[in-house]
Structure 1
Amino acid sequence: MADETPDFEVPVGLFQDIEDLKAVVQALASQVTALTEGADTDSGEVLADAGPDAGEDPADEDEWQFPPFILLLDPPQYDEELRALIEWVEGVLVPGYLAEPSSDARWCHLWFEHPPAVARLHACWLAWQELTDPATCGYTGPSVWHRDHLDPCLRELRASSGPFGGCTKSEHQIDHRLPGTVPSAWRHETD
């Protein structure tokens, strides 16, 4: 019999999914390596207790914390996180990704006064920090960041119904989208 190779049509999306899976596997492998490098075990020894509390030193607790949601931070921490976010937005995002604002693609130069914009940009920035490090996500991380984080974020922010919907080049409005009743957890006290 002749060697017959089946003729498969593979959807393009499947290749993207495979690359995403490779990035996830690479990230997990990096995490496993980082976690096991510090262990004082022989190569053949298996940790019997691999739960989240296994071998955890209370002094290392701060090392493994994830950054909190920016809108839930209180003033000194919020101000520091916002300062770092402003550096990233003004140094990376604005010059690299934002063209001239228009009625179809809005942008407010005082974006940091719009809490919904701060929240979305902060989330996008956190994803950027993780997905642009080849050691944790391989070389497909930036592609994943663009597709899954940046593009949806900018679509929402720059839409006519987004947080900058009432802002124009000559006018800035931060309260045009605030609801009449704000839940107490999000309310800011005024003097």
Structure 2
Amino acid sequence: MADDEGMPDFEVPVGLFQDLEDLKAEVARLNAQVKGLTDATDDDQGEAFADDGTAAGDEADGGEEEWQFPPFILLLDSPQYDDELRALIEWVEGVLVPGYLAEPSADARWCPMWFEHPVAVARLHALWLAWQELTDPATCGYTGPSVWHRDHLDPCMRELRPSTGPFAGCTKSEHQVEHRMPGIVPSAWNRADS
């Protein structure tokens, strides 16, 4: 076999193929990110052409909308803030609380009214944005969830849940908002206004 001359005779470990697939996914994600950044730069430079009646969405032949990065929640005004907060509450109550939060304690606090703490809203929104990106195998490969746990979930919980964190006063009666220890996290939509 002349074609096999010069090729080493060994079996490739299965893990190597998985690593290769992870690398391919990472390259695809980075290419998409670079394309998005260069398109955004091109759009900024091409604003002068917008006055001639050409809309940015009309440029693509396929009529495909260009994906935009979600804005940080604290930079939004109502009603966009309210919509983003509703979606965040759904994720926190549907994924984070049941899947990751153990019973609150003096060392690991949690506030059922977390959405009234701007620091918690900011950190949990950032955590949710990272979760959206890092749990999609098309953009992050198979290692994304591990990266999310290590780089995002664990640091966020270390900042939110200690006895000196933003929920420190939530079990004390002198806190500015009446808080209670959570048994079940209440829904923001069903909360009775005082």
Q: TM-score, normalised by structure 2?
A: 0.63
Q: Does 1:53 align with 2:51?
A: no
Aligned CA distance change for structure 1 residues 85 and 174 (closer, same or farther; 3 Å): farther
Aligned to 2:191: none
Tell me the TM-score normalised to structure 1 length: 0.64
* Map of 1:25 onto structure 2: 27
Residue equivalent to 1:132: 135
Equivalent residue, structure 1, for 2:81: 78
Q: CA deviation at 1:173?
A: 3.0
Per the TM alignment, residue 160 of structure 1 is displaced from its structure 2 partner at its CA by 1.3
Q: Output the amino acid matched with 2:42.
A: D
**In structure 2, what is the Cα distance between the partners aligned to 1:67 and 1:27?**
17
Q: Which secondary structure state, in structure 2, belongs to the residue aligned with residue 102 of structure 1?
A: coil
Quote the offset at 1:53 in angstroms. 1.5
Where in structure 2 are there 5+ consecutive unaligned residues?
A: 1-18, 47-54, 60-64, 178-194
- Report sequence identity in percent: 72
Separation in 2 of the partners of 1:85 and 1:172? Answer: 28
| Matches of 1:117 and 1:60, distance apart in 2 | 40
For 1:79-118, what aligned pairs fall within 5 Å after superposition? 79-118=82-121
Distance in 2 (CA, whole Å) between partners of 1:50 and 1:67 is 16
Task: Letter of the 2:56 partner, please give it.
Answer: P
The code of the aligned residue for 1:63 comes to E
- When residues 123 and 60 of structure 1 are mapped into structure 2, their CA distance, relative to the original with a 3 A threshold, is farther
Q: Is the 8 Å Cα contact of residues 114 and 174 (structure 1) preserved in structure 2?
A: no
Distance 2:57 2:122 in 1: 30
1:26–1:138: 8 Å Cα contact kept in structure 2?
A: no
Q: Following superposition of structure 1 onto structure 2, how do residues 140-179 of structure 1 map, counting pairs within 5 Å?
A: 140-168=143-171, 171=173, 173=175
CA contact (8 A) 1:132 1:141 kept: yes
Q: For residues 79 and 50 of structure 1, do their structure 2 counterparts lie closer, same or farther at Cα, with a shift above 3 Å needed? A: closer
Cα deviation 1:132-170 (Å, max 9, x = unaligned): 0000010000000000000000110001111101112x7
The AA in structure 2 aligned to 1:86 is I
- Structure 1 unaligned segments of length 5 or more: list them: 1-17, 36-48, 176-191
**Mapped partners of 1:60, 1:107: distance in 2:** 47
Deviation string 1:86-144 (CA, Å, 9 cap, x unpaired) is 00000000000000000000000000000000000000000000000000010000000
Once residues 60 and 124 of structure 1 are traced to their aligned partners in structure 2, the CA distance between those partners, rounded to angstroms, is 34
Comparing 150-159 with 58-67, greater Cα deviation is found at 58-67
